[in-house]
Amino acid sequence: MMSTARVELTPGRRESCGIATTAPTVGLHEDVESIVGALVSRARIVTGMDIASAAVRDDDGEFPMRVFRGVRSAEFRALRIRTGAGLGGLVLQTGAPARLAEYHDSKMITSDYMAAVDIEGLHGMVCVPVVGPDGIFALLYAAIRTASTPGDVAVVRLEGLAAEAGTAMHHIAARRSHLEFSALQQRQSIAGRLHDSLAQTLFSVGVLAHRSRQHDDPGALLDGLAEIEAVAGSARSDLRATLAELCTIPPSRALDLALTAEARSFTAATAVPVWWSQRGTSRCVSSEVSAVVVDGLREGLRNAVKHASTDRVMATLRWGASEVVLVLQMPWGEAADRTAAEQAGFTSTTTPGVPGSGLGMLNCRAGALGGCLELTIDPDQDGLIVQRLTLPVTGYQP
């Protein structure tokens, strides 16, 4: 049984309530990469600490650093955490969160990673285990570059984020199990249908061929061949109908799948990850609404690279009873030219885009369908850019 007792290495200060509180954003994601990415981003925000990172378990049982926020050095990014080594190794041994007031002075940890911590200029550090269905699958770190102890509030908030991520991982495992069971049922159903149709037809072809070989009369032989041809033609028709049914995309899923494909193509071309989540039940929409939503995603992703120079995009598709909302969130990248972005119409107005710009035309198309496009840009250096596209779906059944 894994220990749940916290390893309290040093007494910590208690922060004021000014640090941003946690929000249920980590558990909304539906794949491991998105969960870990959101986990690290939220960790840095809710603790107010200088860096946040996550080491994720690999096939060898080690935990290489995979996701970083605020990390400057290649040495820290290249760390691979082993059980018993350093702060993360201690957490792997105990299964409990651990906190250090000063990494360099601690007698509780080994010095395996001291050089990388020195290069990164870190002092106070917290590490929290993220537990999934099969044990610890990630180590969540937050650290500061000043000699002050991470406080109790930071630890509690990191634990909350880790618990949310762990719950999301359990949900992924449950969904995967459900999908595997559904796929097995589908394969069994397909096997039964093929046995009842195609296998029986092939058996009939074999019988007819055997019977035809018994005839010496050319006329009877030709009749037998014609019958075989007719049966084979019927089998082809049945097979085509079965394959067409298997390949048909349910109308209510068409928009979701199109958006997912666009996001994957964008990531493949730019190496910028899109963390995707969905809320609500998918519905059928008109081709006009579908086209505007897909174009809204494309325009937002283009701006994410062209104007924001971001390193990640958070995308959410929300289905309501009478509307569908596409929300894109992206932080300003360090290389972003905000002046040039504003001149191109990428501004913090609620009706974005100058006439003729991509956002401007998208806003006009949304308005013609009874929807709207909103763009909100946080003035802070590390603030988020939020693009929200809302379109009605009233009159279309799921």
User: pLDDT tens digits, residue range 97-112?
Assistant: 999 989 988 889 999 9
Is residue 18 predicted with pLDDT exceeding 60? no
Confidence category of residue 220, pLDDT binned at 50, 70, 90: confident
Q: Give residue 392's pLDDT.
A: 92
Q: Give residue 395's pLDDT.
A: 47
Q: Name which of 161-175, 307-321, 338-352 the model is least confident about.
A: 338-352
- For 253-262, the CB contacts below 8 A with 24+ separation are 253/282, 254/284, 254/290, 255/282, 255/285, 255/290, 255/293, 255/294, 255/317, 255/324, 256/282, 256/317, 258/290, 258/294, 259/293, 259/294, 259/297, 259/315, 259/317, 259/326, 262/294, 262/297, 262/298, 262/301
The mean pLDDT of 150-178, rounded to a whole number, is: 86
What value does the mean pLDDT of the chain take? 81
Residue type, 280: G
Comparing 77 with 378, the larger pLDDT belongs to 77
Is residue 351 predicted with pLDDT exceeding 60? no
Is residue 393 predicted with pLDDT exceeding 90? no
Confidence category of residue 175, pLDDT binned at 50, 70, 90: confident
Q: Tell me the percentage of the chain whose pLDDT exceeds 90.
A: 30
Q: Give residue 30's pLDDT.
A: 67
Q: Give residue 23's pLDDT.
A: 43
